[in-house]
Structure 1
Amino acid sequence: MCYDIALNANLQKILKRVPLLQTAGNLDFDFAATHHKIGMSFPLWPVIVDNNGLQVDRYTWGPIPKLLDTAEKVKRQRQMYLNARSEKVPESGTMWNAIRHQRCLVPVTGFFEYRQIPGWKNKVAYYIHSREQDIFFIAGLWAYSNSWDVDKPERIPTFTLLTRAANPVMQQIHNGGDNAGRMPLMLSDELALQWVKKDLTDTDIRQIIQYEYPAPQLEYWPVNSVRKVKPDDESVIARVEYDNLPPVV
């Protein structure tokens, strides 16, 4: 699953990337560029929604569904909702189907996944990004969630990233663990703008989540593990050379 993302860009670059995009209401904020954020830290992240026009606002990564009704449950299980399988969105009775009309775009400059190599003790981390765009968009869903960080929970806007079956490149990189063979639901620019339209039908949703980002449009290379504490700078995505590392083809 996709728990590690990057956005090496500031707010102004995002505003220039999407025509007619504005900051939400009178909110005046910027977003510090980052080479890595892990979902389990539940960071604030800029997301794009259609609120009577395209707007960018900061939401917290990681919804808190109602079944997580104690602080202890939130602590143990919240990370399970950082990602959502896109196949569940059209499925009646699921949490994701219930909020399918609360769609958002998550701008990123790249993401990280781990590759399992036969005979190797440790998995190898890879940084993956689009060859076509400095900033690309991952489909997401948003919801208001209770915050259990305070004695009296308040409602906060949160989001989840949608994932789908991996394309041929990502099948080779994200090839281990319980959620092997998955990748973020990366969208083309055209589909990204469609995804946040308010009048999108269930048929439209089904068609969009079938989109597979073309493997030739991905660029990727091995990096050091991003699960270790390190400065948030270019070194995070620096290419690492491994002897006898099988190529991704």
Structure 2
Amino acid sequence: MCFHNSMSAKAVKLAARYGRKSDTIEIAQDIINEQYHVNAFNFPKCPVITSSDQIQAFNWGLIPFWVKTEENAEEIKRMTLNARADTIFEKPSFREPIMKKRCIVPSTGYFEWRHEGSRKIPYYIYLKDEEIFSMAGVYDTWLDKSTGVEHTTFSIITTDTNPLTNYIHNTKHRMPAILSKEDEEKWLEPDLSKSEITSLLKPYNAGLMDAYVIRNDFVKKVPTDETILERA
């Protein structure tokens, strides 16, 4: 699955990469600077690209619009950090967002573990020729009626692995659905059919990716520590 992302590009660079504005909205402080490790289990705010002309900031862990209470919201977001491409059209949490609320989650790389017996070996995985690349995502907005506050949240879509990521993620065999640059704006188009959406959710070309082993303590470091990405 994909629970550990890296977003080591500042908002201004993201804006240039996606042709979006970053100076006309209030971007959360924790996404202005480089985040070398973004842990989904902290439900952090992350930069997200939608059809809007501005960079958005949504929390990781999708809360469907139909959730009734804050207690239910807290429970469900722990199960919606990722959405499987093969079941996304069927799951109640995702079947409306996948048709109407697709987004891009920018990344500079992500983390996964290879299991060898009792050992867990962490890898940093990235694209060879793309400093910033696009993970396919979905989002939704939930209104907490007890407070009147709206929460917009997202999930990263995962697919089967390619040969490189299959070697690394050798237990569950999943990887994020990565979009080619030419498919990014198409992914955001509001009127795609189910078959058109499905055609974009496929394992990325392993030949365009690379990975290396990093130190096990990277999860304990503050997100802005650039040594997170150092080779083991």
TM-score, normalized by length of structure 2? 0.88
2:17 corresponds to: 17
Q: Residues 35 and 202 (structure 1 numbering): CA distance in 2 closer, same or farther, change over 3 Å?
A: same
Of the candidates 128, 132, 140, which is equivalent to residue 143 of structure 1?
A: 140
Residue 211 (structure 2) pairs with residue 214 (structure 1):
no
Q: Residues 10-32 of structure 1: CA distance to partner in whole angstroms, max 9, x if unpaired?
A: 0111122123x2248x3143621
How do 1:198-237 and structure 2 match up within 5 A?
198-209=190-201, 211-225=202-216, 228-231=219-222, 232-237=224-229
Q: Secondary structure at the match of 1:132?
A: coil
Contact preservation (8 Å) 1:131, 1:219: yes
Q: Residues 127 and 71 (structure 1 numbering): CA distance in 2 closer, same or farther, change over 3 Å?
A: same
Structure 1 residue 222, shift from structure 2 partner: 1.0
Of the candidates 107, 123, 126, which is equivalent to residue 126 of structure 1?
A: 123
1:167 corresponds to: 162
Of the candidates 94, 97, 100, which is equivalent to residue 96 of structure 1?
A: 94
Using the alignment, how far apart are the partners of 1:75 and 1:16 within structure 2? 34
Using the alignment, how far apart are the partners of 1:38 and 1:131 within structure 2? 23
Q: Residues 38-66 of structure 1: CA distance to partner in whole angstroms, max 9, x if unpaired?
A: 00111111111113xx4311111111236
Q: Give 1:39's aligned amino acid.
A: A
How do 1:177-216 and structure 2 match up within 5 A?
180-209=172-201, 211-216=202-207
Contact preservation (8 Å) 2:12, 2:22: no
1:60 corresponds to: 59
Using the alignment, how far apart are the partners of 1:172 and 1:183 within structure 2? 11
Q: Residues 229 and 16 (structure 1 numbering): CA distance in 2 closer, same or farther, change over 3 Å?
A: same
Q: Secondary structure at the match of 1:50?
A: coil
Structure 1 residue 131, shift from structure 2 partner: 0.3
Using the alignment, how far apart are the partners of 1:181 and 1:147 within structure 2? 36
TM-score, normalized by length of structure 1? 0.83
Q: Give 1:199's aligned amino acid.
A: D
Q: Give 2:210's aligned amino acid.
A: E
Using the alignment, how far apart are the partners of 1:84 and 1:131 within structure 2? 25
Contact preservation (8 Å) 1:63, 1:145: no
The sequence identity of aligned pairs, in percent, is 29
Q: Give 2:208's aligned amino acid.
A: Q
Q: Secondary structure at the match of 1:164?
A: strand
Contact preservation (8 Å) 2:40, 2:60: yes
Contact preservation (8 Å) 2:25, 2:54: no
Q: Secondary structure at the match of 1:97?
A: coil
Structure 1 residue 88, shift from structure 2 partner: 2.2
Q: Secondary structure at the match of 1:49?
A: coil
Contact preservation (8 Å) 1:7, 1:107: yes
What residue ranges of structure 2 are gaps of 5+ in the alignment? none
